Chains A and B, each alone.
Chain A
Amino acid sequence: MKKSLYLTSSGTLSRDQNTLLLELETGEKRYFPIEQIGDIHCFGEASLNKRLLEYLTQQGVPVHFYNYYEYYVGSYYPREHNSSGFLTLKQAEHYLDESKRLDLARRFVRGALQNLQQVLRYYAHREKPVHPMIEGIAQVEAQLDDAASVETLMQLEGQAREMYYSALDPVLQNPDFAFESRSRRPPANRLNALISFGNSLMYTLALSEIYRTHLDPRIGFLHATNYRRFSLNLDVAEVFKPVLVDRTVLTLVGLRQIQPEHFGEELGGVYLNDEGRKRFLQAWEERLQTTFQHRRLKRNVSYRTAVRLELFKIEKHLIGEKPYEPFRAYW
């Protein structure tokens, strides 16, 4: 299985014959076999040239860039190697047809809400006082069918998320990682910093997997297409954020693998420092490589693969073969 390459230190990335070479500022050289790399995430300062980009295109490897504050900056998304005009038209049709778009958007939100509840149920089993929040999200879920517009769906999703976030303090019971309220750009406290960072990783994960399918990442259904930015990856991310991002964050904090010393404060915001970021990335990659038994394929698949399978289900929805049922964690 292909892996992500996370570059946290600064250096020069280049093609050296038929392999990828990273030269660190210390002069140390590291080689990475390109066949094993699915995508690259640059956090440090990276120098690279066109020859490398050509190589990455040939190998179909996207690169995602993040700035000093761990915000997503943008991606090098190589030329499509895998496109199907037939599917692209179907995708556009599902965006342009109001009822088809609403149907798909509702499916994404339903998947998201079900997984939010599942995460809380996990903590309910551990005797955390989160039953009222589960109830609340279930009530929002019951309203999804009546939502007549994508905007309403977005609002309902926002409401459910708020209830969910109100469960974080009772779950963690850790004053060093109090949630208070959701804040981004900049995140006002440690927990928010972790969630923001995790969400960025989730968005790029979905984007990298979209690259390996026939879908066009610019045409989203829940998140409005604005013709310039990627949005389908945001839709898919909603379904997986609870299971991948939030569980990673809660586990890291719960097991005290991330501590207050792993953060720094800058420009009125709180950010992970180098050590904190490394710890998060390691936990994230472990989570993505965690496998579960897939009932249909009758073999173990990783969460990363689950994201790709999700995209195939969306493709089948678009070509009219099978209505999309979002990924649902039963554990």
Chain B
Amino acid sequence: MNPSDPITGTHIHYFLVCPRKCWLSLHRLEQETGSDLVELGKLTHERTFTRQQLREVDVDGFLRIDFTSEGIVHEVKHGQSEEHAHRMQLAYYLYQLRLRGVQTHGVLHYPNQRRKERVELTPELEAELQQVLQQVEALRQQPLPPQVPRPMRICRSCAYEEFCWSENEEVGQ
């Protein structure tokens, strides 16, 4: 673990989906290769909003914004099942931009569902974000990844599934 690694938007997203996934990602134990869903997500990113000029905007090397247009931050997502986590990820970008003197709002895009949602950094959302940031920081300090007692429904679609549940035991023998 590199203690100076900044928390990214992805970490915020992961934390709200599964703290274990967030810990593993904070320790660079990513499982991005070989998952079909990850590949589909990448395709959504690559094949939508291709006419936007400012794509993959990199702020200080750790905020990777999908694209900006007319001063608005846009985040593209493949599926909408983790909507609140997506909203918080975007809120984090807005928060970090405000720290740098940029006041703006964002839009979440679900091109596959032909849907979008406007996200403002409201005081409520910001308060929630601050809480999450503290929790992520505390999580990072933990020597071991948090345990998940048994596979959850979301594990099925998670690229970390094989890592987390690789042991072949317990049931019967």
Contact A60 B162 (CB under 8 A): no
Q: Which residue of B lies closest to A88 (CB)?
A: B28
Given contacts A83-B28, A308-B162, contact A296 B144 (CB under 8 A): no
Stretch of A41-49, A108-116, A282-290, A311-319 contacting B (4+ beta carbons < 8 Å): A311-319
Interface size bracket, A side: 20 to 34
Which B residues touch A82, using CB under 8 A? 30, 32-33
Q: How far is the CA of A306 from the CA of B165 in the complex (A)?
A: 12
Interface residues of B in 88-116 (CB under 8 A from A): none
Residue B163 lies at the interface, judged by CB distance under 8 Å to chain A:
yes
Which A residues touch B163, using CB under 8 A? 312, 315-316
Q: How far is the CA of A167 from the CA of B1 in the complex (A)?
A: 49
The proximity string for A residues 313-331 relative to B, scoring 1 for CB distances below 8 Å and 0 otherwise, is: 1011001111001011010
Q: How far is the CA of A294 from the CA of B172 in the complex (A)?
A: 12
Count of chain B residues with Cβ under 8 Å from any Cβ of A?
25
Which of A214, A296, A316, A321 lies in contact with B28, CB distance below 8 A?
A: A214
The proximity string for A residues 95-139 relative to B, scoring 1 for CB distances below 8 Å and 0 otherwise, is: 000000000000000000000000000000000000000000000
Contact A84 B27 (CB under 8 A): yes
Contact A87 B168 (CB under 8 A): no
Residue B149 lies at the interface, judged by CB distance under 8 Å to chain A:
no
Chain A nearest CB, measured from B75 CB (Å): 24
Contact A296 B33 (CB under 8 A): no
Which A residues touch B34, using CB under 8 A? 2, 212
Contact B171 A297 (CB under 8 A): no
Residue A227 lies at the interface, judged by CB distance under 8 Å to chain B:
no
Given contacts A313-B166, A315-B29, contact A321 B172 (CB under 8 A): no
Which B residues touch A327, using CB under 8 A? 168
Q: Which residue of A lies closest to B160 (CB)?
A: A312
Q: How far is the CA of A298 from the CA of B151 in the complex (A)?
A: 10
Contact A325 B169 (CB under 8 A): yes
Chain B nearest CB, measured from A90 CB (Å): 10
Chain B nearest CB, measured from A5 CB (Å): 17
The proximity string for A residues 70-89 relative to B, scoring 1 for CB distances below 8 Å and 0 otherwise, is: 00000000000111111100
Given contacts A296-B166, A296-B170, contact A214 B29 (CB under 8 A): yes
Residue A305 lies at the interface, judged by CB distance under 8 Å to chain B:
yes
Closest 10 CB pairs of A and B: A84-B28, A309-B166, A312-B166, A295-B171, A86-B27, A296-B165, A312-B163, A86-B1, A313-B166, A84-B29
15 A-B contacts (beta carbon < 8 Å): A2-B34, A60-B33, A82-B30, A84-B27, A84-B30, A86-B28, A87-B29, A212-B34, A296-B167, A296-B168, A296-B169, A296-B170, A320-B143, A321-B145, A328-B168
Binding site for A on B (CB under 8 A): 1-2, 27-30, 32-34, 143-145, 151, 161-163, 165-173
